[in-house]
Structure 1
Amino acid sequence: MTPAEPTAAEIRRWQQYLADEQAEAAVYRDLASRRSGEEREILLALAEAEGRHEAHWRELLGDRVGTARRGAVRTRVLGFLARRFGSVFVLALAQSAEARSPYEADVDATDAMAADERIHEEVVRGLAARGRKRLSGTFRAAVFGVNDGLVSNLALVLGVGATGIPATAVLFTGLAGLLAGALSMGAGEYVSVRSQRELLEASTPSPQAHTALPHLDLEANELALVYRARGMSPAEAHAHAEDMLRQVNVATGALDLAENRAADDIDADEHEAVGTGLSAAISSFCFFASGALLPVLPYLFGMSGAAAIILASVLVGLALLATGAIVGLLSGAPPLRRALRQLFIGYAAAAITYVLGLLFGASLS
């Protein structure tokens, strides 16, 4: 029995899948061209896997491949970004793209292809996580800073402006709020990050501890107390301590008490993820100031009254949508949902202070 002739709709769908696979493979190759070492090898392997999927659709199409189609718009945008930036943002977008694969619901795609796409999502997630970890300290300060600047100064400007005071008074109030908030954010972030790093460093075993090993009393075996303090049972700690001491005569200088940590192990990467106090403080100051400047802009250009309030709200709303979308992209979540959530929270806070300003203005008049 000869197989049924594919319909025109099926052929178009297969051709689009073929174009998408070609575009995705190109994205991974472009990303690989901006990487080296293990990351480059992983990205090239992903491109090779997309090539296998491309071969499947070519086989189904046979001589119906037709003229080359363009990949989906999101894949072409991803390719454009990969060729020019190759950053964690592109990997986060690629992760989202892999998560939207239609193969599980398509009878013409094999189970292996659907499984591949699931695994590709996890591989890209792992690659993106490396970049997220490098960004996390400074990026956290930047996002919090700009969001706080937008919301707090919009709320301040709207609340004060609603009382009916002159526009110049609103302007200077907004500028004072910008400066005070930026300095407070920078100082607070510096103290916070420095404190966190100091706590991590205090939990890291001393690199000089191994020099005491040749002089330990094996009968007292105080080394076992070190391992018990890190979560081992008394028997495990005693056995491990004896084993370590037996090695002293072989390689005293190479021993490191940190190489066998318990469940509360402190990895050096955590220090990197926290970031540095100075970079976090500078990021907080600059981003808070840039966010807090937007609500003040209409008053800087001489506007007043309802027109200034509306324009300030629109500017802040657009910025809130942008920051929410960026956070969504980096976290691999739907950017629109994160953007709308950011907008709702910011506008809700500003609306409360605006209403309070109207009430105070009415009571003063």
Structure 2
Amino acid sequence: MAEQPIAPAHGSVGPTPAQIRRWRKYLADERAEAEIYRRLGESSTGRQQEILLQVAAAEGRHSQHWETKLGPHAERTVGPSLSSRVLMFLAEHFGSVFVLALLQRAESRSPYDGDADAPPAMAADEAVHEEIVRALANDGRQRLSGNFRAAVFGANDGLVSNLALVMGAGATGMAPTMVLFTGIAGLLAGALSMGAGEFVSVRSQRELLEASSPTQVTLAVAPDLDLDANELELIYKARGMSPEAAAHRAQERLGHLDCDCDPSLSFKDPAPEDEEGPGEHVALGTDLGAAASSFCFFASGAVIPILPYLIGMSGIWAMVVAMALVGVALLITGGLVGLLSGASPLARGLRQLAIGYGAAIATYGLGLIFNTSVA
């Protein structure tokens, strides 16, 4: 039986069947979002847990709004969308970084914009929730960005470069064993190059930071400074302190003050470096560790295009299987990059696929030009 509009009091017009269907969908989605935030909050700690649980409570208030609007029609519920069910599963079983990235995209597409049945305050709440989720997701991105970026892009480089190499070699008519050896050589050459480059990069950055870090010289020479014309204040001014703050810090180092207690101090840099060395935000890791990671990440991607040859395949079918395997891997790596950046995983995956296949097709065409097989 079709839904009948509610007969409201005072002769006002009740909701139409279309409104009822739309409100039920809103109610289901709000309940699902409240559950997602609740699960994320329960798996988090500290400040993030408090924020997520408060957002869950706000989504619960939105649910109450639609329950009130629906009245008796709220008793017949509909299930949440597929995307909401997937997010609930991810929130329950996986870390919050990628779930928050997906939630950021979901919150940016508020269905309440332009809907006269949704109060402006609710649409405003959704906009605020997007910014809250963006900030929380950014914390996770900052923690993951270095290692995750190295892993994804290292593997992606291996996938694309070795697939192109194998396709080009295969198109020339080389024997399957020669194509395999070419792929292995490409794997080792690329992985060693990546490892060496990462070693030099991290070592150089560490040396640069060490050259820029403050030393303990002010503590060592402070007793011998000329108190009437000392240059200790200039050190702190050079580090970004205001003249007043520099004078205050110099007095501390000379032993005339025993605490940094002047509330009027102003700094150009809100977190200037002192004699203690580089700030805690610098986390480079070791150069050898970075080199080993880059080697492994590249090799993990570069081994995929040669898998068909490792199991004895040859000819066009080996290249087709290599293309298929690499295509799946490129979709995964591109999707992960999209998740981390808050962009569409599908769009980023397809972009990675297009780039990888474009390089492979180009080298395959060049291989055909130099084909050595007998007609």
**CA distance in 1: counterparts of 2:285 and 2:268, whole angstroms:** 23
Q: Which residue of 2 aligns with 1:358?
A: 368
Give 1:260 shift.
4.4
Give 1:252 shift.
6.1
Greater shift, 129-138 or 187-196, is seen at 187-196
Count of residues paired in the alignment: 357
Q: Which residue of 1 aligns with 2:83?
A: 74
**CA distance in 1: counterparts of 2:198 and 2:17, whole angstroms:** 60
**CA distance in 1: counterparts of 2:299 and 2:48, whole angstroms:** 37
Q: Are the counterparts in 2 of residues 142 and 284 from structure 1 also a CA contact under 8 Å?
A: yes
Q: Which residue of 1 aligns with 2:310?
A: 300
Give 1:138 shift.
1.0
* Structure 1 residues 14 and 158: alpha-carbon distance in aligned structure 2, compared to 1, 3 A threshold: same
- Equivalent residue runs for 1:269-284 within 5 Å: 270-272=281-283, 274-284=284-294
Aligned-CA RMSD value: 2.7
Q: Which residue of 1 aligns with 2:3?
A: none
Give 1:79 shift.
0.7
TM-score normalised according to structure 1 size: 0.88
Query: Which of residues 245, 254, 258 is equivalent to 1:240?
Result: 245
**CA distance in 2: counterparts of 1:317 and 1:283, whole angstroms:** 23
| Cα deviation 1:161-220 (Å, max 9, x = unaligned) | 111111110011111211222222123223322322443344343366456556544543
Q: Which residue of 2 aligns with 1:249?
A: 256
Query: Which of residues 183, 186, 191 is equivalent to 1:174?
Result: 183
Give 1:21 shift.
0.9
Give 1:337 shift.
1.4
**CA distance in 1: counterparts of 2:106 and 2:216, whole angstroms:** 45
Q: Which residue of 2 aligns with 1:158?
A: 167
Q: Are the counterparts in 1 of residues 240 and 267 from structure 2 also a CA contact under 8 Å?
A: no
* Structure 1 residues 305 and 37: alpha-carbon distance in aligned structure 2, compared to 1, 3 A threshold: same
Q: Which residue of 2 aligns with 1:348?
A: 358
Q: Which residue of 2 aligns with 1:35?
A: 44
Q: Which residue of 2 aligns with 1:144?
A: 153
5+ long unaligned stretches in structure 1? none
Q: Which residue of 2 aligns with 1:315?
A: 325
| Cα deviation 1:19-69 (Å, max 9, x = unaligned) | 111111111111111111111111111111111111111121122202332
Give 1:297 shift.
1.2
Q: Are the counterparts in 1 of residues 166 and 183 from structure 2 also a CA contact under 8 Å?
A: yes
**CA distance in 1: counterparts of 2:286 and 2:267, whole angstroms:** 27
Q: Are the counterparts in 1 of residues 159 and 326 from structure 2 also a CA contact under 8 Å?
A: yes
Greater shift, 261-270 or 76-85, is seen at 261-270
**CA distance in 2: counterparts of 1:87 and 1:282, whole angstroms:** 28
| Cα deviation 1:81-126 (Å, max 9, x = unaligned) | 1111133111111111111221123221122111111111111111
Greater shift, 185-194 or 141-150, is seen at 185-194
Q: Are the counterparts in 2 of residues 138 and 280 from structure 1 also a CA contact under 8 Å?
A: no
* Structure 1 residues 318 and 240: alpha-carbon distance in aligned structure 2, compared to 1, 3 A threshold: same
- Equivalent residue runs for 1:175-190 within 5 Å: 175-190=184-199
Q: Are the counterparts in 2 of residues 33 and 40 from structure 1 also a CA contact under 8 Å?
A: yes
User: Counterpart of 1:319 in structure 2: which amino acid?
Assistant: A
**CA distance in 2: counterparts of 1:254 and 1:169, whole angstroms:** 73
Q: Which residue of 2 aligns with 1:331?
A: 341
**CA distance in 2: counterparts of 1:145 and 1:45, whole angstroms:** 39
**CA distance in 1: counterparts of 2:21 and 2:282, whole angstroms:** 51
**CA distance in 1: counterparts of 2:79 and 2:216, whole angstroms:** 57
* Structure 1 residues 360 and 204: alpha-carbon distance in aligned structure 2, compared to 1, 3 A threshold: same
Q: Does 1:124 align with 2:122?
A: no
What secondary structure sits across from 1:176 in the alignment?
helix
Greater helix content: 1
Query: Which of residues 47, 52, 59 is equivalent to 2:68?
Result: 59
What secondary structure sits across from 1:271 in the alignment?
coil
Q: Are the counterparts in 2 of residues 147 and 291 from structure 1 also a CA contact under 8 Å?
A: yes
Q: Are the counterparts in 2 of residues 221 and 241 from structure 1 also a CA contact under 8 Å?
A: no
User: Counterpart of 1:271 in structure 2: which amino acid?
Assistant: V
User: Counterpart of 1:220 in structure 2: which amino acid?
Assistant: A
**CA distance in 1: counterparts of 2:167 and 2:348, whole angstroms:** 24
